[in-house]
Amino acid sequence: MVSGGNASSLPLVGGASEPTIRELSRPGRRASKYPKLDVPEVDFNHPAMKNEKAPLPEVSEHDLVMHYSRLAHRNFAVDLGFYPLGSCTMKYNPRFADYVASLGAYSNTHPATPSEFTQGSLEILKILETYLTEITGMDVASFQPPAGASGELTGLLIIKKYLQNQNLTNKTEIIVPDSAHGTNPASARMAGFNVVEVATDERGMVNIEDLNSKVNENTAGLMLTNPNTGGLFEEEILTISNIIHDAGGLLYYDGANLNAIVGVCRPGDMGFDIVHSNLHKTFATPHGGGGPGSGPVAVKSYLKEYLPGPIVEKNESNFYWYTPENSIGRMHGYHGNFLVALRALVYMKLLGKEGLDTLGSYAVLNARYLSSKVSKYLPLAYKEPCMHEFVATVKDLKKSHKIKAYDVGKALLDKGFHSPTIYFPLIVEEALMFEPTETQTVETLDDLAESIKHIIEELCAPGVNLTDYPKNLPVGRPNELIPAKHLTVHWGDFELLELTE
């Protein structure tokens, strides 16, 4: 390995289990200190109050800091190593954006503060809107949705309300490719639509014949990501959008794969009416271990009045909140994940024109290079040139050596890499989906490919026990049945289980 150290080796502090904060608790210890009450103390009783203290841990501040620092040592992260995680866009998250988001005037503002005192924050959202709409080819955006799935639901509710207002209540079907993310059909159901699946052809793209057979007067719209979840550009996208529009349906763009096309082409030019962007993917805001994200929705101007509000508008002198006339309503208690949106704007300003114009190109370049390297050891699912991600398959190794995609992923952890996305898209057998992003070096990409070569050799050797992998981490493969069966989801549950069994 020349690209760097082994990020996921045993933590510095050793491989022993870390006790829980409750196990570290001792009566009478404390980390917090509050000032003495500076108003006259009054005796009072209230029927909503209790007498006993809350059962929280009692620890010293040093113990608290050591505990959570030791736990941090047991976690992989973008700052430690490479996540070739397809569909997740785990690129570098600039530190500078965290600095800006920590400025008190942004981070300490109460959300109910009137707009006359928050002109700066409203301006941030307005500028970000101009960037997002330019990048996606749309006209107006709402920052209400706090995540991608919420953005999807927003888009579908917009479609629903728009069609209702046109008295097109027969339109109840949303078409979703069989390769789509699980959130797509889940969001469509939540919005009250029926989900109709369209097949993928042997090239890995929407099967136009099948699409034609599924589209009819009941079609409300299509949800699609382009490039699709196989990492391929839907070359017939203009045909697809014509088919949907001719049937009176709307096109929804799932922004999961937007990183591939920033500066290359735009969903708005492909015929999409609604786009959500995942700011935590394409625009480099940190994933936070699973969130927060931000899933702003941008639309063509004819849908503006349906957006979840309030959205930011500007008159001659001021920014102000505006609730669109036919708004589907709020998707969030206040203004969405504002500090995430702010970080995304910081990233865009640092990239500027030269960075944004080439963003998608470099993301695709790295994926194309990695696919070329990986394909020497594992067959790819599709022959077409990939965009920002590609899918390889382990199905041959499964036949010959019972090695599954899962096993390759687990063995890769030992080599200092996060696993690629496995078993997705569902339509590819034993799928491994790789997305390198534009921020990885050639050496890292080479190292990953070499590691895959070594892993295959290692796992194919006689006498190997696949379930032993990974071997060099704080824990091995978890028993997933125990918590699912016994609901060991609260401290004490597991000990109780041991006592009773």
Partner 1 sequence: MFVPHSSLDLNVIFDELEISSLEELFKHIPDDLLIKNGLDVEDSLSEIEATKYFEDISNKNKNNLVCFAGGGHYDVYLPPTVKSLTMRPEFMTSYTPYQAEISQGILQVLFEFQSLVCDLTEMELANASLYDGATSVAEAISVAINKTKRDSVIISDGFNPNTKEVVNTLIDKAKFDLNYVPLSGYLFPEDYEFTDKDAAFVVSFPHYEGSAQDLSKLVKKAQSKGVITICYVDPSMLGVLKTPGSMGFDIVVAEGQSIGTPLSFGGPTVGWFATKKDLARLVPGRIIGETIDNNHKKTYVMTLRAREQDIRREKASSNICTNQTLNAIGSAIHLSWMGPEGIYQVGYQAIQKAMYMKSQLKEAGFNVINDESSLREFLVETNLPAKKIISEMGNKGFLAGIEYSENLLLVALTEKRTKDEIDNYINLFSEVNHG
Does residue 413 touch partner 1 according to CB under 8 A?
yes
Among 303, 337, 306, 335, smallest CA distance to 321 is for 335
Which residue from 204, 230, 255, 470 is in contact with partner 1, where contact means CB under 8 A?
470
Task: Count CB atoms within 10 A of the CB of residue 460.
Answer: 12
Q: Which of residues 238-277 bind partner 1 (CB under 8 A)?
A: 238, 263-266, 269-270
The stretch among 297-305, 409-417, 427-435, 452-460 that binds partner 1 (CB under 8 A) is 409-417
Q: Write the interaction track for partner 1 spanning residues 92-111; mark x where CB under 8 A is met and - where it is not.
A: xxx-x-x-x--xxxxxxxxx
Q: How far apart are the first and last CA of the chain?
A: 46
Which residue from 10, 199, 210, 349 is in contact with partner 1, where contact means CB under 8 A?
349
Does residue 353 touch partner 1 according to CB under 8 A?
yes
Among 422, 421, 418, smallest CA distance to 398 is for 422
Q: Which is nearer to partner 1, 34 or 463 (CB)?
A: 34
Does residue 214 touch partner 1 according to CB under 8 A?
no
104-113 burial, b at 16+ Cβ within 10 Å, e below that, comes to eebeeeeeee
Smallest separation (angstroms) from partner 1 to the CB of 242: 13
CA 456 to CA 379: how far, in whole Å?
A: 13
Does residue 373 touch partner 1 according to CB under 8 A?
yes
Q: Residue 195's beta-bridge partner residues?
A: 174
Q: Is 115 exposed, middle or buried (0-12, 13-18, 19+ CB in 10 A)?
A: middle
Smallest separation (angstroms) from partner 1 to the CB of 127: 8
CA distances, 304 to each of 23, 72, 132, 159 (Å): 54, 43, 15, 12
Q: Write the interaction track for partner 1 spanning residues 48-67; mark x where CB under 8 A is met and - where it is not.
A: xxx--xxxxxxx-x--xx--
For residue 311, the surrounding DSSP H or E stretch is strand 311-314
Which residue from 320, 322, 377, 494 is in contact with partner 1, where contact means CB under 8 A?
494
What letter represents residue 128's amino acid? L
Cβ neighbours of residue 242 closer than 8 Å, sequence gap 6 or more: 271
Q: Which is nearer to partner 1, 317 or 400 (CB)?
A: 317
Smallest separation (angstroms) from partner 1 to the CB of 447: 14
Q: Which is nearer to partner 1, 400 or 404 (CB)?
A: 404
Which residue from 138, 140, 159, 188 is in contact with partner 1, where contact means CB under 8 A?
188
The stretch among 42-50, 247-255, 390-398, 456-464 that binds partner 1 (CB under 8 A) is 42-50
CA 179 to CA 198: how far, in whole Å?
A: 9
Q: Which is nearer to partner 1, 5 or 399 (CB)?
A: 5
Smallest separation (angstroms) from partner 1 to the CB of 399: 25
Does residue 228 touch partner 1 according to CB under 8 A?
no
Does residue 499 touch partner 1 according to CB under 8 A?
no
Is the distance from CB of 200 to CB of 427 less than 8 angstroms?
yes
Does residue 152 touch partner 1 according to CB under 8 A?
yes
Q: Which is nearer to partner 1, 117 or 302 (CB)?
A: 117
Q: Write the interaction track for partner 1 spanning residues 414-433; mark x where CB under 8 A is met and - where it is not.
A: ----xx----x---------
Cβ neighbours of residue 144 closer than 8 Å, sequence gap 6 or more: 150, 154, 296, 297, 307, 308, 309, 330, 331, 332, 335, 336
Does residue 2 touch partner 1 according to CB under 8 A?
no
Phi, psi of 322 (to 5 degrees): -130, 130
Among 381, 98, 358, 79, smallest CA distance to 229 is for 381
The stretch among 186-194, 247-255, 296-304, 455-463 that binds partner 1 (CB under 8 A) is 186-194
CA 438 to CA 447: how far, in whole Å?
A: 16
Rounded to 10°, the helix 119-136/338-374 angle is: 30
Can you give the length of the chain in residues?
Answer: 501
CA 395 to CA 223: how far, in whole Å?
A: 29
DSSP H helices, 146-234, are 148-165, 183-190, 208-214
Q: Which of residues 116-145 bind partner 1 (CB under 8 A)?
A: 116-121, 123-124, 131, 134-135
Q: Which is nearer to partner 1, 34 or 316 (CB)?
A: 34
User: How many chain residues touch partner 1 (CB under 8 A)?
Assistant: 191
Q: Which is nearer to partner 1, 84 or 249 (CB)?
A: 84
Does residue 69 touch partner 1 according to CB under 8 A?
yes
Does residue 113 touch partner 1 according to CB under 8 A?
yes
Q: Which is nearer to partner 1, 399 or 402 (CB)?
A: 402
Does residue 449 touch partner 1 according to CB under 8 A?
no
Does residue 47 touch partner 1 according to CB under 8 A?
yes
Does residue 501 touch partner 1 according to CB under 8 A?
no
The stretch among 34-42, 207-215, 217-225, 396-404 that binds partner 1 (CB under 8 A) is 34-42
